[in-house]
Each structure stands twice: as C-alpha cells, then as structure tokens.
Structure 1
C-alpha cells in the first residue's frame, strides 16, 4: 500500500514538472504566438480562415489549413489582432479581445478563485485546463468538440460534432454528427433535424452499413456502454496507421484524413458520401439504392412506386408501396389463414445495408424468423452473429445494395410474390412455354402486316403525304388563334415527313429518348446534315388531341426570344403528330437543381443567370411579344438548358393566347402541375399573367434552395417548401434553407433579395403579386425598395391536396387535360 502511495505521488510530481516545462511561458498566448504539442502534431493559436479577416483561437494539425477545434466559433475577433488566450481571475480559460472583453470562456462553474490553473496542449490534440496543485483536469476541449474526431478522444452519445457554416466560416453550420440508436449503436450525420447519412449498426467490430469497413478497423474503433450515465462512448486508435483524423465538412461529408509523411500533406482516404445512395433514404420507403444500377433506385420485390410519374422523373422520395396485401393482414381477425399454402413468406436480399430503426430481439437465427413470421407487424428481419436478431415493424427506409459486405435482409411478402423458385419447376416450364408461344405469334402477325404494307404502294404513298385538309378546327373550340393557322402560314414552318424523323431518331429508339412529357416522349434526332434536333412525339394514348398540338404550333411559331425554345418544324401524317425543336444538350433544369450529383455544376452566378433568363422569357410572353401569352405550366422540367446553361422556356401545349385588351380568363378544367399552380387557378379556374408569376416564384425558391416544393412532404399535413421558406424568413433563419453549394458571403445579399422576390411572387392574392416587368427590375436593381412579403399560399400539403378530387390525390401531379376557356376584357 505504501509503495502504491509513493508511486501515485511520483506521477503527480512528473505531471507537475511536465506542466511547468510545457506551459510556464504559455499562461498567456498573444495573437502572434502559438503553443505546440510535444509530438509536434498539433498547434494552438490564432488563425484567420481563407477569404476572411476575422480572427479565431483554434487548434490545427500539421498545417493551419486543417483546423480541428475552434474556441470562439460564434464570436470572432473582427479586425482585431490584439486578442489573447489566458486564464482569468476565476481560474477559467478565456479569450479576450483588444479591449480586454471576454469573448469566450471555458465557463467552468466549480473552479475556485484560489485554484492555481494552467493549460497545456496534449499530444492527442486536446487543450487541457489543469489544477497545477493537484494535477487534476478541470476542463478540456475533447469534451467540447467542434467538427473533428481525434484518436483517443472519448466521443459520447450526448455530444455532437458540428460542421462549419461554409468552408471558410467556423460558425456552426447545417450538419452535425452524433451517436444514435443506443441499443444497437450507429453514427449519424444530420442536416439540421433530418438524417443525412448513417453508418448502419455496430456489431462489435465494424459498422455493418459501411461497405468497405473491413478487418483493418478491428483494433481501431471501440464502443463502450456506460450504464451509470446511460450513454455510449465511441473512441478509436490508430497505433499502426499513423496520424488519422475524422472531420465533418460544411457539406455534410465525413472525411477520414490521413497525414502523408512523404507528401507532407493531408489526404482524404475515405468519405461517407461517394454516391447518391449514401444520402439517407434517397430512394424513399421500401426502395433500395444501388449505385451500380441504372436507374439507381428500385422498389423492393412485391412493391411498386407510390407515385409512378415522379418515379419515372427520377424523383424517388415518395418511395414504394405494397402491390398485394399481406395474408396475415387479411386474416387478422381469424384464427388462421384460409389456405395454409398461401401464407406470407420472406424474400432474401443479400449483401445490403439494413434499414433504419432496427429492434433487437431474439438471439437464435431460427427463432428470429419464426417470431417475425408469427407477428403480423414484423415486416423484415436480419440476423447478425455478433448483434443477434434485428427486426423491423415500420417502413423500411435507407436500404442500400452493396457489392460485398453488408448483411442479408429478409423482407415479408405475400405468397404470390415469393418467386418462381418457391413454387416449383412446373411453374417455370409453363411460363417459358407461354412466353415462347407469344413471341412466335407476334412475329407471325408482324411479318404478315409488313408483307401487306409492302404490297400496297398506293396506300404507302398516301400515308407519307402531309394532309393539310385534315387539319380542322376542333368542334366547340373558341380560340381564334388555331383558326388563323392556314396552309400558307404552316408553310412558313419547315415541314418534315414521318420517315425522315424516324431515320433521324433511329426509329425512335429508347436509347435516344430524352424524357417523357404530358403529351408523350421526346427523342434526340440527328438529321442527314448532322444537325441535332429534339422530336416531341404526341402519344396516341396520352388523351391529348389535335387542339393542344396545334396550340403549341401556333404559339411557338409566333415567338422569337433567346429564352424561349425555338420550334424548327412539325409533322402530321395520319395519326402521327410531332414537333421539332432545337436540341438542348443539357436537357432540363430539374436534372441539375434536384440532383445531388449535378447541382454542384450550378454555382450562384449560373443560377442567377437562369432565374433572370426565365424572368425575361416570361416578360416577353406577357408583354413584349405580338400576342399576350400565359404559359400555365411553368416548372423546372419545362426549363431547358443549352450548352452554356442558358435557360429556355419550353412546352407550350397548355399555353393560352390573349388579346392586348384581355387580362384574365376562366376555365372549366384546370391543367398544369400541382405545387406550381396559383390558388385562384387551382381552386376557381381563373388564370392570368399573375398565374405564371406564382409559378415563377415557386421555381425561383426551388432554384435557390435546391429542393422541390414537395420535397419535405411525408404526409398531407406536412409543410411545403414555400411553408418552410416562409417560417424561416419570418424567424430570420432563411440562410439555413439555401443550397450549400451556392452559399457565399459575397452573394448573400443577392441571394436574400431573390428569396424575397420569390415570396412576393407566391402571395395568395394575385393583385399583391408583382408583374414580370417589376420582377425583372427588382432582380437587376439593388437600390429598388422591395415591399414586404406576406404569408404565401399553400403552406401545407393539405391545402394543395384540397384543390383536387379524391381520384387525383393519388398523384401529386395532374395529367395535362383539355380546357374550355372564356376570355374576359379589361
């Protein structure tokens, strides 16, 4: 016992001597001074981020570019190079500005004024405030981390790493890192309150949701549960791998940074975000993401897209739903199912990242399956030898297909979805025979019609003639514009025959398909002279007729503006109706703004150029063209981008032409896209140029925020993007909603101005919305006073859904439809 006491006293003496050697001259650190750890790996001092004049106290590793901890994140020294880091009279560590005001403090309440405090920088990178008399730690920076996780740091479940606001602003940003699901620990990255990425469960050795986390990590990470505090602690060691630090950047990416001795620089050796599949819930509930797939999102077996139109447009957030009700749901109120052979079963998904919200239950693998099967609420299970049995009772969210690693996930499906293998080889043979028989019959019928067509040259020639006499004004149509389209005016357009367009598009091959609109598909074509065109082919099953086709011909043939798509020609042969446009190599705006992998290509200058171009295009339609035109379906997918990313408004099938003396009209059927339609149009059928202004406002806010108006919608009572933008605007927190890729202090004023203009455009009353002429002026004049915005329309999804019938509520977007228009004069 005496030897132990002597040993402890010796340790205290050695600690005290070390403290004197390290810190005797460092009880005050001036702006120009630094304190370096004994290892030389870490330095404490004042620094200024790039593109800034503010001064901060921080710790960096090897190079000042790699800052791992900041004291005064929210209170910088502005144009002040006289700051100091010292110990105050009450024993706390403080940062003082040039006027000796305290701008940051360790803020330890139980420090006695008599305590002889001192501080040091440990070899592990922690700033430690100590009691010089006892050698006890009073406070240390490891307990108050910034944006980095360091070796030997004990990171607990009640802590958070927080990102910088921008790469050059240490203020707390949108993203944070924490430990969650304490029964089966996982680490999460959050975008404010929404999950952005998760590691998958910890099995005692690795996180099973990180694909390439292999054996080299076995002695690195360690979880320890503290039953007394009710917390879980995470730490890692890198004894054999040199200096490694995990840092969370301002875009929500968690990087593993390794110091290269040869290159003398930091190298990113791993990141949590390598594809869209790493974004939490990218494919929605019951969807699975495969970064090697095309498209990358698909529904689980037995499920189908909840909103097929959005799904086909690569907007997968709404996820999937079951095709068939589970047998156990049908038999819930019965003792057993009607047919034992039709009981539910499980489909196995191999090597996947298991869903979120796992519940830990039974230990044995066989018992795991049986217990899940007996519980109708259990919709999936997975067994890991080190974790045990995991089961899921709610939506399956954030599933990712791996090439290697991961776990096997067993998903509950009805008997009908169990697959051919479970139903025997007899079913396989029957299906194969049926398919082969069908193919043979189709080939025979096709050959017969080809022969008949080839043997009738007169009919073949007739089908290739452009039949002007078949173009008639539809009965009951009141718009005189189509009636004015005579054969002479049609001749002003370049007329194409069907055969020429079929050749240009390789017989409308799917590989040339650019997209799918309300009227039908659009294909890329190359004419014989090498000119690229886009061919819009009216689908026979689309429900759209000659009226809409001719409407678009009339409207676009009269328009000439750099921000409107140019019509090159048209074709009508038999039942075929097609329009030829100039080809836009960058396709539509939604492919950039809403795609996490491509939105980085649109910085603020490009986005503002797009916003201004759309505004000028609308101004031309409303005021400067020979005819006043209301577009009625302005949205991101109808804005095309040329090779220089200049915007061009397209798709005029729903447009309406007004005389100069007319300012609004009524329609008996609403057409367009819900979420972009003005309230007076969606609910009363009244539309005017202010209807387009509302759509422009929605589009403007989407461009700035990088999210769809419906992106936050998980239920009918959820807020739309407009609702969230309005709340954040009122609270003065709108910067949190801005797309991180475009935010820059230099552009902050302009970005805020654009959001203000967008909110004015989506006012509930059409009279309170500005004209497009006013919008263009506000966008280009920083000295113009902008009136205050009021609460916009459609804050809630429920408001939007109430404007449609119950049948139409199944899909958020409406099908384009015919409308009967009554035009009123001023």
Structure 2
C-alpha cells in the first residue's frame, strides 16, 4: 500500500517538475532578431494563452501559427497564416530589427504579418498578453511603450475575446469582423462573417455577404435575439466617435475564461459550448429568433436538414457529385436547399470539401444503430398554421365526403328498387326507348318471378356509345357469327370483362313490348349452368342483348342454333355428368326466341 502511494507521489512530482520546466523555459516575448520554431512556444505571463505552430490534421504536415487557450489547444482564438499553411518541421516565426514580423518555411514564400516600420536603432518587441492579444510594439529608451506597430486583435479570425472590437476603424478604413473557418479542419476563411452594424446598432451574421441572422438592437444590457442562456452573462459596450465605431463585451463572471466562436455552420458559440446566436433554423424562409429571409424559393419555411444515419428506400440511386474543393459543408446545404428535388447532402471528401447530393430519392429509412455513415436529410416539419389549415381542409373534405356517400346511398337505393343499373352512361341525355324501358312498371315486376337460386336478377341497361366503344364500332374483326335474327359481336368493357353482343336484325319485327317480355323471361331463367344475360341496349330502332362471353365455344352455334326443342351440351370434356340445356322458343306470343347457352 505504501509502495503504491510512493509511486503516485513520484509520478506527481515528475509531472509537476515538467510543468515547472515548461513555464520556466516558456517566454511571452520575442525581441528583435528572435525566432520561434515549430517546437517552441510563447506563453502569456499568467499562462492563459499560448502562441505556437499547430496542424489541425494528424495525418498532414501543414502547419499554422495560432493562439489558443493553454488548457485547451482545440480552443484556438487566432490564426496568423490561415490562407497559406507552411511545412510543420521547417516553420519559423521571426522578428526582424526593422519591425517586420514574418512566418518562414523551407522552400515556401514568407508570410508577412507586419511589414518593416522602424529604423534599425529602435527597440521593438512582440508580446503575448493574458488577454490573448499578440502585440508588436516600439519602446522608448526607458522601456515604456512608444507605439503599437501591429496586434492580432486588429486581425481577428473566427473568435471574439473580451476587449476585442467588432466594428469599423475610420482611421485606416478597415473593419473588425469575424470570419468562420472553411470547416473544422481547414482554417481558411469560410462563408460566414460576424459584423457590427453601427447604424442599426446590432450584430449581423452574413453568409457570403447576405444577411443570415441579426441580434436585434441592444436593449438595456442585452440584445433581443441572442440566446436566453447568454442573456445576463455579458456586459456590452458600444463606442461611436469620429475615429471608430465598435461593440465589445466583458464576461460578468470575474476570472472566468470567455470567448465567442463563429463556427463554419454559422453558429455563434461561447467558450463553454452554449449558443450566443442559435442559427440552426435560419434556412432562408424562417424569420424567428433573428433569422433573415434570404431564399424565396421552393422550400417550406419550416423544413430542415437533420443529420441521420440510414438510407433511402424508394427511387433509383440518383446521386449528384460536386467535386469543387472550395465548397464547404454549408455550401452543400445551401445548394441542396436551392434545388427543389434535393433530398439530402453531405461532404464528398474526408476533409469536408466538395458535395454529394441525393436527388428525388423519396422515403428515408432512419437506422438507429449508427452503423451507416450519417448524411443530412431534408425533414419536412408542418407548422402550426399548416396544421390548422390541414385540420380545416380535413373537416371540409370529410363533410363533403359524408354528403357524397349519403347521396350515393340514396341513388343506390333507388337503383335497387328498380333492379336496373345504368352502365356506360356518359351523357345527360338518354334515349327515349331506354327511358321507357327503365321506367316500365312491368320491367320492374321481374322481381316477382322466382327460380331455384335466388329471387330477381339485376339487368344492366347499356349506353349505345358504350357498346360502340366496346365492340370497336361493330368491327368485322369483332364479329363472332350471324343468323336469322341478327349478328353477334365480341366486346370488352372498361372493367376488363368480355361480352357477347347480339345485335338483333331490324327486320325481326320485334317491338319494345316484345323485347321487354323477352328480357324478363331470360333474366328469370338464369342458372349456374346457363350463360348469364348481362343486360340490353336500345338505340332508336336498334335492339341488342348483352351476354357474358364464353371463350371455349363459338357463341353463334348456340345463339343461333335452332331446329330442335332441346339440346344437351357437357360442361366439362371429362364427362363429369353435369349438363346444361339450350332452348329455342316456338311460342308465337314471343315472336322470337330465347337461347341462353351452356357454360363451358
């Protein structure tokens, strides 16, 4: 037990001694002629900030000069050469006696932070302050400050520290503003910027120059549209004079670390990760919470992209690739938003550049296991107003549907009472002969007859144009046969059922009354082994009977068979013993015949 305690003490002493050595060797100032290589650092006097070279990707030698919080290297607040990386092993920061501050690398062009501004006999130094500001200054002979030649606070990147200025410098006609990284791996300037609007007295986040979000005016001690969790945490100061106009802030919590970070997605975050400006819902339509309308396009104002793991279920694999490495993930989002048929997007390359889009993909399956790499999927979200509209529309449609159902039920009831269904009727005007048949009391009385299967049969009264269309205008190709009483044609109705149309000869001498009697008798003698009579059609002097079509036997041999009083035909060729019957009437009162055929 004692040995373990001694081991812990030894480890603690080693770590403590290493920290003492680091801070003892660390310096906060470069003097004229000094340099800082890739393995050395400047640390502010109280250890709050560190300046040195870093590389954001572990698998690359590209290096940048930056300032970060000493206790968290990922919280980088400034980058000196964000547009031109250098080789890590050969990177050197040098301060020349002329006041020129440069980043040098082997085989690369130098990056000048500050040009030469003083004579050789001047005293200059560059110091990293505990505010996070890296200041190049000219000193008097007694060591006091003569003037500031250059400072990192005048060249902000994506971070705003307390005492930094956000605004306009009228002296040199420059601006203090933040610009996001390209993505979380590339510190080059990205699409978003944070600016101060001296006329409107508000902060503005722009995306590629277009207003994306505004803070609203400063009321009392806070801005209208900054997040609730940030309200009351800062003291804001607004300065406006002939030399400069700017906003600055301090953290109310004394001694607490503070910084604002404008990330590559357009969000303004505080040091602890909480939101200062929540811009997640700023999609170009939404105007809530300071969002600005900037995309009057095809999307709904409450649609959003959500990062999800999964895949699309419907539609072909229709993807579109944008290989432009200058496009960030946010550029992909905007491009997908602007394209009405784009359902999802993501970065094309591992360094989060380029774009991949999913076009017209349809339903997305959300895989909660997380095994599939996530993409950003468009998720339509109905708004409250849309919900109210949908509810109102639902009531209207529901009420209309209910009335329509009641109306149809009434019509159906009336139709059943007559036992007649009007088929194929597409016109408001019905033939007079058809009306006479439909309204005939005697025709309705067919329900009074009864056979061995059921009481009454439905007869359909077909429209003449409907029959013409079904038989292709009684074309020769559709003709099945002919006899003394007329012709028989094959037809097909829109429902897909095939029919046989017996077109009675105009010379048959049969009138409306005789025709009705024949229909009544045939309908009442329907039987499972007899071909079914479907209905009739009357058009002027035309008389037609509509039967079901039986493909295994020519209908004309049955419909026009005559000369015998009874004819047997087997239903099945295997001789199952079941027979149907064919009849040809000779009753003079019918003046014609009736001849349902055998089923085959």
Normalization by structure 2: what TM-score?
A: 0.44
Q: Whose radius of gyration is greater, 1 or 2?
A: 2
Larger strand percent: 2
Larger helix percent: 1
